[in-house]
Amino acid sequence: MKTILFIIQKEFRQIFRNKAMLPIIFVLPMIQLLILSNAASFEIKNIKFSYIDNDHSVTSRELISKFQASNYFNVIESFSSKKVADWQMQTGKVDVILEIPNHFERDIIKENGSNLSVSINAIDGAAAGVESVYISQIINSYNQKIQTQLYQYNEASYIRPVNIVTIPSFWYNNTLNYKTFMVPGILVLLVTMLTLFLSSMNIVREKEMGTLEQINVTPIRKYQFIIGKLFPFWVLGLVILTVGLTIAKVVFSVPILGSIGLIYFFTSIYLLVILGIGLIISNNSDTQQQAMFIAWFFSVIFILMSGLFTPIESMPQWAQNLTLLNPILYFVEIIRMVMLKGATFSDISRPFFIIIFYAFALNGIAVWTYKKVN
């Protein structure tokens, strides 16, 4: 025990002697949380909207004003012909072209319907999908309104149309605030990446400097060295979590409905998993550069397959199965459940036990692959 304390003391001294370390621990998470949480949004705003109005009627102008009134569309300009509009699409000036045909108003009144043509820039397929939904919503609501008016005008003495209005109620994030959803996720990412990188490069550093050989000649036992080496990074992980939670609460007003204690309890075990991975990487690399690349390789896979940026439900089945191996997935799931839903321990027990299992398995491998003797 005394030996471990001496190692921990030495580690902390080295960590804080490194001038880059304090900014890495406190400033980087702040900047990343502030920037990423604002930037990483799937809401599509400021869609560059243009139109060709061949009808020039009251109805067509009213339809366009609907787009002008929307927050999501920036009405850039109106074009006189499809040809000009297509050219502007190609140069990237506009994303959406709405073409209103001749006799649009007349067709609606007389034939009870008309066709509109919409062209959408679909280089970003996901964005195009969302834009198409927005556009149909606006057109539909406008169209229904017209129909309703027409009904009332022509058949006033008959049955009034039943207007069904759907009022969605969004649970757990009722204003659909994107940040409420993203901030906990990005916090997970930060805690994971920083601890993974710092821990995986730490033991390799001793290998590079030649001090590891000196350590191996001392009677330090494997477990003492590993605990002494990793404990400081475990503490740092929790400090980063604290910084992040504070920013989430103070800057983004993300609700923390569940127990903070539960978040810390889970994170403290989750960090063991990450430190175990870091140690395995350290054991299998000879230079910090190698360790860095391997750590990077794993983080990219873990992050993209964590459900943080893309829903896991929409991945192919084999990829969904793979995500079950991803520790970040469980952390994202749990921190969102606890913060936004107020989940209690019994709600998160399944991912919790999976993480405990991982902690044992990975650290087992890590200790086993750490060799004092060759």
Partner 1 sequence: MNKEKIIEVQNLTKQFGHFTAVNSISFDVYRGEIFGFLGANGAGKTTAMKMLIGISKPTSGEALVAGFDVKTNTEMVKRSIGYMSQKFSMYDDLTIKENITFFGGIYGLSKIQIKEKTERLVEELKLEEVIDKLVGSLPLGWKQKLSFSVALLHEPKIVFLDEPTGGVDPITRRQFWEMIYAEANKGTTIFVTTHYMDEAEYCDRVSIMVEGNIEALDTPKNLKSKYNVASMNDVFLKLARNAE
Query: Distances in Å between the alpha carbon of 286 and those of 36, 198, 201, 251, 294?
Result: 33, 15, 10, 42, 12
Task: Determine the interface stretch with partner 1 among 1-9, 108-116, 163-171, 232-240 (rule: CB under 8 A).
Answer: 1-9
d(CA 177, CA 248): 13
| 3 lies in the binding site for partner 1 (CB under 8 A) | yes
Q: How far is the CB of 15 from partner 1 (least distance, A)?
A: 10
d(CA 218, CA 229): 15
Q: In this chain, which of 216, 259, 288, 290 binds partner 1, going by CB under 8 A?
A: 216
Query: Distances in Å between the alpha carbon of 16 and those of 11, 25, 245, 360?
Result: 9, 10, 23, 29
Q: In this chain, which of 144, 214, 287, 321 binds partner 1, going by CB under 8 A?
A: 214
Q: How far is the CB of 5 from partner 1 (least distance, A)?
A: 8
d(CA 348, CA 269): 14
Q: How far is the CB of 363 from partner 1 (least distance, A)?
A: 22
116: left (phi over 0), alpha (psi -120 to 50) or beta: beta
Task: Determine the interface stretch with partner 1 among 110-118, 173-181, 215-223, 328-336 (rule: CB under 8 A).
Answer: 215-223
| 160 lies in the binding site for partner 1 (CB under 8 A) | no
Nearer to partner 1, 8 or 76 (CB): 8
| 223 lies in the binding site for partner 1 (CB under 8 A) | no
Of 287, 279, 290, 291, nearest in space to 367 by CA: 279
Which two structure tokens, joined as six digits, stand for 8?
């921990």
Which two structure tokens, joined as six digits, stand for 141?
């609501």
Query: Mask of contacts with partner 1, 344-373, x by CB under 8 A?
Result: ----------------------------xx
CA 198 to chain centre: 23
Q: How far is the CB of 19 from partner 1 (least distance, A)?
A: 10
Which two structure tokens, joined as six digits, stand for 305?
């397959």
Q: In this chain, which of 218, 321, 344, 349 binds partner 1, going by CB under 8 A?
A: 218
What residues between 4 and 33 interact with partner 1 by CB under 8 A? Answer: 5-7, 9-10, 13-14, 17-18
| 2 lies in the binding site for partner 1 (CB under 8 A) | yes
Q: How far is the CB of 9 from partner 1 (least distance, A)?
A: 7
Cβ atoms within 10 A of the Cβ of 192, count? 26
Binding region for partner 1 (CB under 8 A): 2-3, 5-7, 9-10, 13-14, 17-18, 209-211, 213-221, 372-374
